[in-house]
C-alpha cells in the first residue's frame, strides 16, 4: 500500500488479511490477491505468513537454547546463560506447583509452549506496517507478522495439547476409567436405575467440559492478541488524521506498547499454565 491513498477501512482490512494460499473456484492453486479470493479458498487453505513466522520463531527458540546449552559453563555464566537458567528454573517451579504426576514430557513441553507463544506474541511489538511493506517489496499483497492473531495457529496448538490430554487420560486411567469419568460424574448414585438416568446427563456435561478446554485455550490467546493488534492498527490510522492526532497517537503507541509487554508475557504464561493443569487432570484418577 506504499505510495497509494487508502481509506481507514481499507487500511485496517489490508493489515488484518493473511497471506493465503489455496484453490480458487476455477481450480487454480495460487496466492490470494484480494480478501475475496482468500475467502473463496475456504477451509483448505494455508496462511503462509502465520506458518512461516511461527516455524521461524520455533527454529530460533531451538537454536538459541541449544547454543546456550552447548556453551554452558560451571563458572561465572554470561548474561544469556543467566537468563535461560532463570527461565528454566521458573518453568520448573511452575510445573512442580501445578503438576502432581510423574511425566518427563511436561516440563520440556511447558518450556517450549511458553517461549514459543511469547515469541509469537512479541511480534506484535514490531511496527504493523513492516510486514505489509516488506510483502509489497517482494511482490506479495498481504503479510501479518503476529501468528497468535491467527485462530488457525492458536487452535492448532490447543488441539495438540488436547490430543495429549486425551492420550494420557486413556493411558493412565484406561479406556474404562476414561469413559467412567465421562459418565459417572458429577451426578452419582448407588442404584442402577438412577445411574442409568444420570448417565446421559453426565456424558453431556463432561463432554462439554472436555471440549471447552481446547476452545477456551485457543480463543483466549487469539482474542487478546487480536484485540492488541487492532489497537495498534487504530493508533496507526490516527497518524494520518492530523498533526495533533498524530502527536497524540505517538504517546498512545508508546503507552500501549509498554502495557502490551505485560499482556504478551501473561498470555504465554496462561497458555503454559493451563496446559500443565489440563495434563495434571489427565493424570489424576477419580474414585
Sign, CA dihedral 181-187-188-194, equals: negative
CA–CA dist 179, 170 (Å, integer): 9
The contacts of residue 169 (CB under 8 Å, 6+ apart) are 178, 181, 282
Strand partners, 47: 20
Positions annotated as catalytic residues are 216, 220, 224
Q: Any idea what DSSP says for residue 284?
A: P
Q: Any idea what DSSP says for residue 49?
A: H
Alpha-carbon distances of 38 from 1, 144, 147, 279, rounded to whole Å: 18, 14, 17, 36
CA–CA dist 209, 281 (Å, integer): 12
Amino acid at each position: 500500500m506504499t505510495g497509494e491513498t487508502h481509506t481507514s477501512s481499507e487500511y485496517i482490512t489490508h493489515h488484518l488479511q493473511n497471506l493465503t494460499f489455496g484453490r480458487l473456484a476455477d481450480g487454480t492453486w495460487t496466492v490470494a490477491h484480494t480478501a475475496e479470493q482468500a475467502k473463496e479458498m475456504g477451509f483448505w487453505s494455508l496462511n503462509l505468513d502465520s506458518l512461516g513466522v511461527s516455524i521461524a520463531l520455533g527454529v530460533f527458540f531451538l537454536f538459541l537454547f541449544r547454543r546456550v546449552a552447548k556453551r554452558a559453563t560451571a563458572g561465572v555464566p554470561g548474561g544469556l546463560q543467566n537468563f535461560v537458567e532463570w527461565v528454566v528454573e521458573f518453568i520448573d517451579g511452575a510445573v512442580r506447583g501445578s503438576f502432581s504426576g510423574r511425566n518427563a514430557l511436561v516440563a520440556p513441553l511447558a518450556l517450549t509452549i511458553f517461549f514459543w507463544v511469547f515469541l509469537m506474541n512479541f511480534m506484535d511489538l514490531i511496527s504493523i506496517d513492516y510486514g505489509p511493506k516488506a510483502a509489497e517489496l517482494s511482490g506479495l499483497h498481504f503479510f501479518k507478522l503476529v501468528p497468535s492473531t491467527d485462530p488457525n495457529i492458536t487452535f492448532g496448538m490447543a488441539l495438540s495439547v488436547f490430543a495429549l490430554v486425551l492420550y494420557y487420560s486413556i493411558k493412565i486411567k484406561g479406556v474404562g476409567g476414561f469413559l467412567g469419568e465421562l459418565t459417572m460424574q458429577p451426578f452419582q448414585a448407588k442404584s442402577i436405575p438412577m445411574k442409568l438416568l444420570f448417565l446421559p446427563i453426565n456424558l453431556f456435561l463432561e463432554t462439554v467440559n472436555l471440549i471447552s478446554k481446547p476452545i477456551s485455550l485457543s480463543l483466549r490467546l487469539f482474542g487478546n492478541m487480536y484485540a492488541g493488534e487492532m489497537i495498534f492498527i487504530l493508533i496507526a490510522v490516527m497518524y494520518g488524521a492530523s498533526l495533533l492526532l498524530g502527536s497524540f497517537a505517538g504517546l498512545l503507541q508508546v503507552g500501549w506498547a509498554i502495557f502490551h509487554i505485560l499482556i504478551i508475557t501473561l498470555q504465554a504464561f496462561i497458555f503454559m499454565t493451563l496446559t500443565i493443569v489440563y495434563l495434571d487432570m489427565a493424570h489424576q484418577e477419580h474414585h
